[in-house]
C-alpha cells in the first residue's frame, strides 16, 4: 500500500488541499493530477487514475485547486490565471520532494487544459503530459461569448454569470480566459503527450481533444467509444489507456 499524506500547499496565502500517495520509499516518478471545472480531488475518475498510477510505482499528488473542494477561495472568484499560479506552486512543491526522479502532469477537463498550460510553463521539467477530456476550447469560447453553457457579450463581460447548477461565476473568469493562447502553449511543449477522450463527451466535443493532440509534436490519442466526459460508462478503458501508455514509456 502506498504511503498516504494529506496536507496543504500554500499559494500566495491560499491553502490548497492535497493528497500525496507514494508507493516508493527511496526514489521514483510522481504525477500531479488536477481535477476539472466543478470537480475536486476525490472524484471517481481522478481517484481511479491515481490508484492505477500508484500500482505502477508512480507517486501521485492530487490537489484541490483554488475555489474547489477543500481548498481556499470561492468558486465564483476562480480564474485560469489563478489556477496557473496554483499549478506553478504545486509543481514547485513536487520538485522539492526527496526522491522524485521524474515529474508528469495529468488533468481532467479544465484540469486537462491546466496541465497543458503548466507543461508549457514547466517544459524543461515535465517528463510527460496526460490531458483527459481536455477543455482546450475554453479560451476560444470566452473570446466568442459562448462557453460552458453560458452566453454573453465577449466585449462587455458581465460581472457575474449564473450557471444552471446554481453556481455563479465571476466575469473575471471570462476576462482572464480571453487572454490565453492554447496553441502557443501546445507549441511550447515538445515532450510526450497522451490525450484520452470519450467519443460521446457531452461537455467537450471529441474534435477538441483530437485537434489538440494532433498539434503536439509527439502525441498519442486514446478515444474511448461510447463514453462521456467523466468516463461514466467505460472508466476502466480510460484507466487502461493511461496504464498502457505509462508502461510503454517507462517499462514498468
Largest CA distance in the chain: 54
Cell numbers found for residue 111: 484540469
For the residues of 93-156, what is the DSSP string, one character each?
A: HHHTSTTEEEEEEEEETHHHHHHHHHHHHTTTT-SEEEEES--TTHHHHHHHTEETTEE--TTS
Query: Span 41-65, mean pLDDT?
Result: 98
Instruction: Domains for the chain: give ranges and CATH numbers.
Output: 3-140+181-250 (3.40.50.1820)
What is the overall mean pLDDT for the chain? 96
C-alpha cell at 145: 461569448
Q: Is pLDDT above 70 for 158?
A: yes
What's the confidence (pLDDT) of residue 46?
98
Q: 222 and 177 in contact (C-beta within 8 Å)?
A: no
Q: Is pLDDT of 1 > 80?
A: no
pTM of the model: 0.97
| Residue 65 DSSP code | P
Name the 3-class secondary structure at 59: strand
pLDDT score of 186 more than 90: yes
In whole angstroms, what is the distance from residue 196 CA to residue 208 CA? 11
CA dist., res. 161 & res. 55, Å (int): 42
pLDDT of residue 108: 98
Within 10 Å of residue 210's Cβ, how many Cβ atoms?
15
150 is written with which cell numbers? 453560458
Contact assessment for residue 213 and residue 195, using Cβ atoms and an 8 Å cutoff: yes
Q: Coil, strand, or helix at residue 223?
A: strand
Per-residue pLDDT, 166: 75
- The H or E element spanning position 70 is none
pLDDT for 41-51, tens place per residue?
999 999 999 99
Do the strands 59-63 and 28-34 form a parallel or antiparallel pair, or are they unpaired?
parallel
- Which of residues 252 and 70 earns the better pLDDT score? 70
Mean pLDDT across 99-118: 98
Q: What is the pLDDT of residues 211-251, one digit of tens each?
A: 999 999 999 999 999 999 999 999 999 999 999 999 998 87
In this structure, the dihedral spanned by the alpha carbons of residues 214, 199, 45 and 251, taken in order and rounded to 10 degrees, is -50
Residue 252 is predicted with a pLDDT of 63
pLDDT digits (tens, 9 = 90+) for 203-213: 999 999 999 99
List helix spans (H) across the chain.
44-55, 80-95, 110-121, 138-144, 171-177, 182-188, 206-215, 235-250
Which tens digits make up the pLDDT trace of 10-24?
A: 999 999 999 999 999
pLDDT exceeds cutoff 90 at 2: no
Top-confidence residue, 35 or 148: 35
Q: What percent of the chain stands above pLDDT 90? A: 92
pLDDT for the residue numbered 167: 82
Amino acid at each position: 500500500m502506498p504511503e498516504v499524506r494529506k496536507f496543504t500547499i500554500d499559494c500566495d496565502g491560499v491553502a490548497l488541499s492535497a493528497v500525496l500517495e507514494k508507493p516508493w520509499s527511496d526514489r521514483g516518478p510522481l504525477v500531479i493530477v488536477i481535477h476539472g471545472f466543478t470537480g475536486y480531488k476525490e472524484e471517481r475518475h481522478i481517484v481511479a487514475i491515481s490508484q492505477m498510477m500508484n500500482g505502477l510505482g508512480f507517486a501521485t499528488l492530487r490537489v484541490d485547486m483554488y475555489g474547489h473542494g477543500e481548498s481556499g477561495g470561492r468558486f465564483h472568484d476562480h480564474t485560469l490565471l489563478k489556477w496557473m499560479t496554483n499549478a506553478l506552486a504545486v509543481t514547485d512543491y513536487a520538485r522539492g520532494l526527496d526522491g522524485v526522479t521524474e515529474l508528469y502532469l495529468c488533468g481532467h477537463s479544465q484540469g486537462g487544459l491546466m496541465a497543458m498550460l503548466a507543461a508549457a510553463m514547466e517544459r524543461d521539467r515535465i517528463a510527460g503530459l496526460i490531458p483527459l477530456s481536455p477543455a482546450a476550447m475554453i479560451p476560444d469560447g470566452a473570446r466568442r461569448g459562448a462557453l460552458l453553457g453560458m452566453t454573453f457579450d465577449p466585449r462587455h463581460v458581465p460581472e457575474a454569470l449564473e450557471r444552471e447548477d446554481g453556481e455563479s461565476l465571476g466575469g473575471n473568469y471570462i476576462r482572464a480566459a480571453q487572454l490565453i493562447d492554447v496553441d502557443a502553449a501546445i507549441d511550447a511543449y515538445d515532450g510526450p503527450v497522451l490525450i484520452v477522450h470519450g467519443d460521446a463527451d457531452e461537455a467537450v466535443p471529441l474534435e477538441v481533444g483530437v485537434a489538440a493532440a494532433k498539434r503536439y509534436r509527439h502525441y498519442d490519442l486514446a478515444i474511448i467509444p461510447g463514453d462521456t466526459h467523466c468516463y461514466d460508462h467505460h472508466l476502466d478503458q480510460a484507466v487502461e489507456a493511461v496504464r498502457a501508455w505509462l508502461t510503454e514509456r517507462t517499462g514498468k
